[in-house]
Amino acid sequence: MRRPRAAAAASPPARAAQRRPSPPRRWRRALLALGAGLALVLGALAASPVPSQAAGSRPCDIYAAAGTPCVAAHSTVRALYSAYNGSLYQVSRASDGTTRDIGLLSAGGYANAAAQNTFCAGTSCVITKIYDQSSRHNDLGVEGAGTAGAADHGASASALPVTVAGHPVYGVLVTPGTGYRRTDAAGVAVGGRPESMYMVASGTHVNGGCCFDYGNAEHTVSDTGNGHMDAVYIGTRCHLPPCTGTGPWVAADLENGLFQGSGSNPANKGNNSPFVTALLKNNGQTSFALKGGNSQSGGLSTWWNGALPSGGYTPMKQEGSIVLGTGGDNSNASAGSFFEGVMTSGFATDAADNAVQADIVAAGYSGDSGGSPGATITGPGGTCVDVDGDDTGVNHAAVQLWDCQAAAADQHWTHNGDSSLQTLGRCADIAGNGTANGTKVQLWDCDGVGGQVWKQQADGSLLNPQSGRCLDSPSGATANGTRLQIWDCNGGAAQKFHLD
């Protein structure tokens, strides 16, 4: 049975050599005017500004200038250094398993979403890697199994379209079972050293599942005790009530606690704007600070600036790995949207935080930060096509019927260009690529075989051409947990499946 669902330090990359614009030279007078002309030239050279293209205004430029350089910088939407011109992320194509790195339109600019669109045309893609833009190369890969969760899957590459500075880009849509990790990241704080971090996330695509985090986690994918994590969180879980309103709240995941302060902190009023800047700073010994703000306008609110919690958090005991979308032990029941985030060496200044927030606002985030996880498939009796296992999405998981639940990631399917049906990074698959009546349907890695092709018919059925049979509920059953199969197409109610 499925569980009840929760409600919905490194220097920046070297800059290219820059030229100062040459001032105009005007020699209209005789040699007598030479001295005055030279004075004008020298004056103009002294006053001429560095071109704005490399003005050092991106978040990691700002933090480096303040003495707290980035040791990790991740984004699928834009460069976080003004001179960065490498890849942002990698996608893997379902049709043949090949990968493609997605880069920028220009140095210091925005993601080349058109390259992704071309590569993924006619099929679907997942995000398999998020590159670190810092010189530390702390790239994030899809997270493996931990003590609190099975191996994760990559986010659908096209599920979170937004615009930044008017450019179409894609964020990372985290649904339960999605997560990324870098074990033993270079330069990330360990053993009570100070650090800072922020992420731009959604204030509308959230839940109370543990834990939509970005930041410092354990060496092993397990809970090793209080103070062994230091990650910024946003979600609707109130760990130490009372909490003000219904959230979501920016909090610190310090392991075994999502702290809005050193204890209950009703002063944290939450951030529910479509795009949220969520920021955490920790001196590693005695105190930490939390800030939140609207990523589209305004400044940051300080929700906490004070003592670390008691009970094993002073000093901190960070282990120096990086997680995105999960807790340190791969607690992966969370929902969230990630657009950018950095981690620094050292406790950043408030002035630097404010300048970073101004740069984020200037970036011009726009669109639906909740993304589109796919469409539901309504089956017999008004039930939904669902995957057993509470959004874990492992191979061999039964494809079944279940009461429709709006927050269920595994009830939202993408009907790909190759006619496969995909959820949680895998496809609805006929077991063993079989063709016989009664062969069960399961979830399996999308591999383009005939047993993963489902074509909608005019009578409402879903036909698998390879077998010549239709998706079917045995004997027309509609109870929760009814395992789906293939059967001779007969136009009956047991074979009516509507892609909503």
Residue 74 pLDDT class (50, 70, 90 cuts): very high
Domain positions in the chain are 53-366, 377-499
Lowest mean pLDDT among 277-281, 390-394, 443-447: 390-394
Per-residue CA distances from 243 to 152, 207, 264, 288 (Å): 31, 15, 7, 19
- Which contiguous run of DSSP H or E holds residue 119? helix 113-120
pLDDT confidence of residue 392: 65
**Residue where the block lists tokens 């340190």:** 328
Query: Is 329 a residue of the active site?
Result: yes
Indicate whether 4 pLDDT > 60.
no
Indicate whether 359 pLDDT > 50.
yes
3 in helix, strand or coil? coil
Contacts of 46 (CB under 8 A, 6+ apart): none
pLDDT confidence of residue 374: 73
- Which contiguous run of DSSP H or E holds residue 232? strand 230-235
Query: Is 390 a residue of the active site?
Result: no
Which stretches does DSSP call E strand in 311-457? 321-324, 336-345, 365-366, 377-378, 384-387, 399-402, 414-415, 421-423, 426-430, 441-444, 455-456
Contacts of 443 (CB under 8 A, 6+ apart): 387, 393, 394, 395, 396, 397, 398, 399, 423, 424, 426, 427, 428, 429
pLDDT confidence of residue 83: 97
Indicate whether 24 pLDDT > 80.
no
Of 143, 218, 253, 255, the catalytic one is 255
pLDDT confidence of residue 249: 98
**Residue where the block lists tokens 């609805």:** 428
- Which contiguous run of DSSP H or E holds residue 354? helix 350-363
Residue 191 pLDDT class (50, 70, 90 cuts): very high
Top-ranked range on mean pLDDT: pick from 54-68, 69-83, 93-107: 69-83
Share of the chain above pLDDT 70, in %: 87
Indicate whether 411 pLDDT > 80.
yes
Indicate whether 391 pLDDT > 80.
no
Does the domain at 377-499 match CATH 2.80.10.50? Answer given as yes
Question: Model's pTM, two decimal places?
Answer: 0.76
Strands 462-464 and 287-294: unpaired
Choice between 420 and 281, residue whose per-residue pLDDT is larger: 281
Indicate whether 55 pLDDT > 70.
no
Pair of tokens at residue 175? 């649904």
| Arithmetic mean of pLDDT, 454-471 | 96
| Arithmetic mean of pLDDT, 401-420 | 84
What's the CATH fold of domain 53-366? Answer: Jelly Rolls (2.60.120)
Indicate whether 105 pLDDT > 80.
yes
| Arithmetic mean of pLDDT, 119-137 | 92
| Arithmetic mean of pLDDT, 387-392 | 77
Q: Is 353 exposed, middle or buried (0-12, 13-18, 19+ CB in 10 A)?
A: buried
Of 152, 213, 329, 353, the catalytic one is 329
Indicate whether 45 pLDDT > 50.
no
Indicate whether 41 pLDDT > 90.
no
pLDDT confidence of residue 37: 34
For the stretch 326-335, pLDDT in tens is 999 999 999 9
For the stretch 256-266, pLDDT in tens is 999 999 999 99
For the stretch 238-296, pLDDT in tens is 999 999 999 999 999 999 999 999 999 999 999 999 999 999 999 999 999 999 999 99
Pair of tokens at residue 24? 């105009």
pLDDT confidence of residue 500: 77
